[in-house]
């Protein structure tokens, strides 16, 4: 392991590779305990999370549902509940995966907010967007989608006196692969420190359908490239990212991409600058 790998892994509080099933179970228990503690210390009883159809929201959603079920049993308080929210932009191309995720999660409540009108309405009001190239405008509009989804989730949480769950984990944090104040905004992030393979392992252990566990990850924010794979955007695979975070050898090219991306996205992982 290089000094830089060790430094970055420590900064992101990366969970060591699972050696056996006991390690995996311990992480599940730790994260459920974390979720329950967040609710108890906040004095609130509702969790809210947007479900995309990807393995990250599927895993966080199932952990949230299991946590509120345990809280109801432990406290006798039926007010603890989890709201899973679909937040499509128009018709989502992989809606079947999102619905399958909801079926697996079995949330106490499932809601849906179509963000298309809000995104388009905002986009039409911003004159700076009109001068951009089609590709650049599509990218910026993608970030608007992520931020409108954040607004919708926090609005539901405000209305129900709840907390918003985020799905960020170590692999995405490393690459800055989230929208600042969009999907990067939340009250609690129960997948923090896990690499992508560990998120998949937890989902698999919890009984999620294999096609969802091993689905090609996509942020699905760009209209010109619906379903664009995360790994295409990264320029490297999640296996390489996970290996880097766990201190294993990676190619010189992968090492360079990871370190460069980590450094240039530093601002995304920090609080706003102050004098």
H or E stretch including 81? strand 81-86
CA separation for the pair 98, 54 (Å, rounded): 7
Catalytic residue among 56, 230, 240, 242: 56
Q: Is 21 labeled as catalytic in the residue annotation? A: no
Nearest-angstrom CA–CA distance, 156 and 111: 10
Q: How far is Cα 180 from Cα 162, in angstroms, rounded to an integer? A: 22
Structure tokens at 14: 């990366």
Chain center to CA of 271: 19
Whether 172 is catalytic: yes
- The single residue of 94, 97, 172, 230 carrying the catalytic annotation is 172
SS3 117: helix
The torsion of the CA quartet 211, 139, 87, 194, rounded to 10 degrees, works out to 50
| Strand pairing category for 162-164 and 46-50 | parallel
Residue spans of alpha helices (H) in the chain: 3-11, 21-42, 55-75, 95-105, 116-125, 134-160, 170-175, 196-205, 210-213, 230-234, 238-245, 252-264
Q: How far apart are CA 19 and CA 11, in angstroms?
A: 22
Catalytic (active-site) positions = 56, 172
């Amino acid at each position: 392991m290089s000094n830089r790998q060790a430094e970055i892994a420590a900064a992101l509080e990366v969970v060591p590779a699972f050696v056996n099933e006991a390690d995996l179970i311990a992480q599940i228990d730790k994260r459920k305990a974390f979720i329950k503690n967040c609710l108890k210390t906040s004095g609130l009883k509702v969790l809210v999370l947007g479900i995309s159809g990807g393995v990250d929201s599927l895993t966080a959603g199932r952990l949230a549902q299991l946590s509120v079920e345990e809280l109801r049993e432990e406290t006798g308080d039926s007010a603890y509940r989890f709201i899973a929210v679909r937040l499509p932009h128009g018709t989502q191309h992989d809606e079947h995966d999102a619905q399958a995720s909801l079926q697996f999660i079995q949330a106490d409540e499932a809601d849906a907010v179509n963000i298309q009108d809000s995104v388009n309405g905002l986009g039409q009001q911003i004159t700076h967007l009109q001068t951009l190239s089609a590709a650049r405008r599509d990218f910026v509009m993608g970030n608007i989608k992520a931020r409108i989804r954040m607004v919708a989730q926090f609005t539901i949480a405000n209305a129900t006196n709840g907390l918003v769950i985020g799905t960020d984990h170590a692999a995405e944090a490393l690459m800055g692969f989230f929208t600042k104040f969009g999907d990067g905004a939340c009250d609690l992030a129960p997948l923090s420190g896990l690499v992508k393979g560990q998120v998949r392992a937890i989902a698999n252990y919890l009984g999620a359908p294999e096609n969802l566990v091993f689905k090609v990850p996509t942020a699905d924010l760009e209209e010109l490239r619906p379903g664009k794979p995360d790994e295409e955007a990264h320029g490297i695979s999640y296996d390489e990212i996970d290996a880097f975070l766990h201190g294993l050898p990676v190619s010189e090219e992968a090492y360079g991409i990871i370190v460069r991306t980590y450094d240039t996205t530093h601002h995304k992982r920090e609080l706003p600058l102050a004098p």
